[in-house]
Amino acid sequence: MTAPRPVGKATRATIVVTIVAVIVNLVLTGLGPSGFYATFGVFILLVLSDFGGPLRTRLMAYLVTGLAGLVLITLGTVAAESGLAATLVMTALVAFGLAYSLVLRGYVAAAYLSLLLPYIVAVTTPTTYKDLAIGLGSYAAGAVIAGITAVVLWPSRPEDGTRRTVGAAVAAAAAVVRGAADPAPGPGGSAAERMRDLDAAYTAMRTSYDGKLERPGDLTTADHALVRLVDDVSRLRYALDWPADDDPAAAGSPDRAMLTAAAQTLTACAQALDAGAAPSAATIEALHAAQAAHVADLPAEADRLLAAGDTVTVTRTVDAAFRHRVIAFLTASVARHTLTTVGGRRAAGAADQAPPITRELDRIDRGTRPADLLRANLNLRSPWLRRALQTAVAVTLAVLAVHELRLEIGFWVVLGIVAALQFTAVHARKSAVEVAGGTIAGFLICAGLVKLIGHHTVALVIVLIPVAFFTVWLPRGRWLVPMKQAGFTVWFVMLVSLAHGGMSMSVDEMRIKDVGTGLIIALVTTALLWRGGVAARVTAVLHDSARATGDFVVAAYAGLDPADQATAQKETETAARSAVRARDLAAETADLARTEGGAAEDEARAWTTVTNAIDHAMIVGTLVRGLADYGLAPLPDTRIARALQGSVRAGADEFTAATSPHATAHADVAALPRTGPDTVPADIPAAEIDAVIAGWSGSSDPVAVPGAAAISPGHAAIGVLWARDWAAYFRWMVRHSHPAAVGAAAPDDHT
């Protein structure tokens, strides 16, 4: 069965929650109060959770969340029976662990409330161990019913929106690459028009992705691949925006063949993402074959030209091939992650056909696995850790208030906290006002229902149906929070009233008091623990990440120096690990600040630009580090290697200074040209490189590399020129992403 959201979800929740509530409270009366766990389990899993992915994976997510709920109910019951101190310690640990796990997003974020609330109900509701068995059985039944219902009745697909916007961006990138392969004017418009189309598609993709807690995360293989696809598109867009002096005559037939294969692969990936089907294996294999041919043909062509004494053509050809090889490499990464996203399987031997540099990119991907992401945020600079501490304190105080004030239905205190708890006191006050207003409105509605329904059970069930539907169905809008809060107030009161034989004002009065207690605790906790919120931390965290990433790029360039390779490799590995951790923390902090909504548009734009630059600087360091895989490193000339390292060091220092919390918008930086040869810094030793290559002109003798095997002149020229190109690219990217330059960008600039 299919139906558009949220009508399908609202209808599903209305039907199933109402039926389960009627059966538990009016038919299976022998279950007693613990039977409410069945209604509660169905309610939180169908209403508060919304898992995506394939139906089988989705069903497993519901069942695993239900199983975890059983464990948490048991922990809550044991804690409640173990004395106040044990109750508070266990509550703090559970609340902290669940809130901190939100950094994983995806299924974890979708399950958050469905995990926290069962524990809170158990720890705040007096339950004997005899009743616990009935409660666990009831909750397990509710979880199974919810899981089956979610994949049978109107199954929603919340991940499709992100996947399709990624597919649209990939299709736009394919058009740009197709234009690079065949520069002749065609139906796709000019190169500038195609790039503007890519910018628009990229913006739409980021809008559907950034700042969304419920977006796909890294917990499952398919979701992890989709997250990596977003990164791939960002990297590819940067590479396509690189203001290289593209001379069509400089690109040989291997370049054009590789770009054509890349455009075809991107088109196939875009179609696969839109349809949810695997791209053609033959298309991906054709790209790998074109890359392999290019790896073999380019050095041979460079050797031929050098032997003929044509150093000018060598430089033009190798420079053109640099950008084309990067585009093809990033396209191969898009294909690999597209295949995993849509559930396809890599062909036998595909790993052997992929370029060797792929394993270097895997190093970056591994840095964002769940365990690494949790480790990266385990420090006080992380907003996720601070949020977890804030939540743990607030929830623990709420449980303490329940015990000390002897509140009868204590879990409503925590509902008030969860609804109001935000990262800043300003946002918490706004949310608290909306929650309080919604609760009061719900109270007034219930007061009217008491007069109309009283203890008429049939009438209660009839009214319950539209209340449930409209509470879930309510669309987004300015009054969403208070309207939903009013709906949940009425719905919950009616469910509890059904268990007690009819509507009662006393039930609603308890909710008003309990939610009010929770709101006060949330406001006080937020004001004391985190008055400034996430936005105040973003600049400092981005600054640390820019510094760590710059150090990694510099370390990668140190590896081009033939002297002391063992030490250089060890230092590069250490720098890479630090850069990955800092990058992950920076990306999450900036994204969470966007979620909070605490930044102006220009400020948020600068965050996005710098975050993307940090990620792309990681690519620079990774690919420079991978030059050795192609026999292009170390460089045969130590002086050039060290001069390039010095230039990159200057760029890294500029990047660090630009992102400093104390930096100012320098007019000279904002006015820098954003395209053309003037962006290449003077400290890149262009004349020395030309002189070294000229020294290999007219010869086919191997070039000696200190401490390594001799290589052909063509190989040597490619290594030196690409090392120079990556240094120029890095320096361009640093200025391209300078916060001052971002604000000074022209409207049609590709930032």
With contact defined as beta carbons under 8 Å apart, do 58 and 79 qualify? no
Residue with tokens 């400089």: 250
Instruction: Convert the pLDDT of each residue in 601-633 to its tens digit.
Output: 777 777 888 888 898 888 899 889 888 888 888
Residue with tokens 């708890």: 421
Each domain of the chain, given as residue ranges in start order, spans 7-157+374-421+425-529, 160-355, 535-744
DSSP bridge pairs for 705: 708
Rounded Cα distance, 291 and 690, in Å: 27
With contact defined as beta carbons under 8 Å apart, do 604 and 653 qualify? no
Instruction: Convert the pLDDT of each residue in 329-338 to its tens digit.
Output: 899 989 989 9
Instruction: Convert the pLDDT of each residue in 369-409 to its tens digit.
Output: 778 778 878 887 787 888 888 888 888 887 887 777 776 66
Maximum distance among all alpha carbons in the chain? 101
pLDDT for residue 662: 65
pTM: 0.78
Percent of the chain at pLDDT exceeding 90: 22
**Alpha-helix residue ranges (DSSP H) falling in 242-382:** 253-275, 281-307, 311-341, 350-353, 358-366, 370-376
Rounded Cα distance, 299 and 296, in Å: 6
Rounded Cα distance, 24 and 160, in Å: 36
DSSP type of residue 378: -
Q: What is the mean pLDDT of residues 182-207?
A: 83
What phi, psi does 738 have (nearest 5°)? -60, 130
Residue 746: Cβ-neighbour burial (10 angstroms; 0-12, 13-18, 19+): exposed
Cα 407–chain centre separation = 40
pLDDT for residue 683: 78
pLDDT for residue 646: 92
Cα 218–chain centre separation = 8
Distances (CA, A) of 333 to 198, 200, 221, 235, 336: 18, 22, 15, 10, 5
Q: Within 13 A of 229's CA, how many CA atoms are on the CB side?
A: 35
DSSP type of residue 210: T
Instruction: Convert the pLDDT of each residue in 98-150 to its tens digit.
Output: 999 988 888 888 888 889 889 988 888 776 677 888 889 999 999 999 999 98
pLDDT for residue 677: 39
Q: What is the mean pLDDT of residues 193-205?
A: 92
With contact defined as beta carbons under 8 Å apart, do 482 and 434 qualify? yes
What phi, psi does 703 have (nearest 5°)? -100, 130
Q: What is the mean pLDDT of residues 489-505?
A: 70
Measuring CA to CA, which residue among 113, 324, 215 is closest to residue 587?
215
With contact defined as beta carbons under 8 Å apart, do 416 and 517 qualify? yes
What CA dihedral angle connects 198, 199, 200 and 205, to 10 degrees?
90
Query: In sequence order, what DSSP letters do the residues of 164-182 get, joined into one string?
Result: HHHHHHHHHHHHHHHHHH-
- Please give the mean pLDDT across all residues of the chain: 79
Strands 708-711, 703-705: parallel, antiparallel or unpaired by DSSP? Answer: antiparallel
Query: In sequence order, what DSSP letters do the residues of 536-596 get, joined into one string?
Result: HHHHHHHHHHHHHHHHHHHHHHHTTSSTTHHHHHHHHHHHHHHHHHHHHHHHHHHHHHHHH
Instruction: Convert the pLDDT of each residue in 551-575 to its tens digit.
Output: 999 999 999 998 877 788 889 989 9
With contact defined as beta carbons under 8 Å apart, do 340 and 225 qualify? yes
DSSP bridge pairs for 703: 711
Q: pLDDT tier at 251 (50, 70, 90 boundaries)? A: low
- Quickly count: other Cβ atoms within 10 Å of residue 569's Cβ: 15
Q: Is the model's pLDDT at 425 over the cut of 60?
A: no
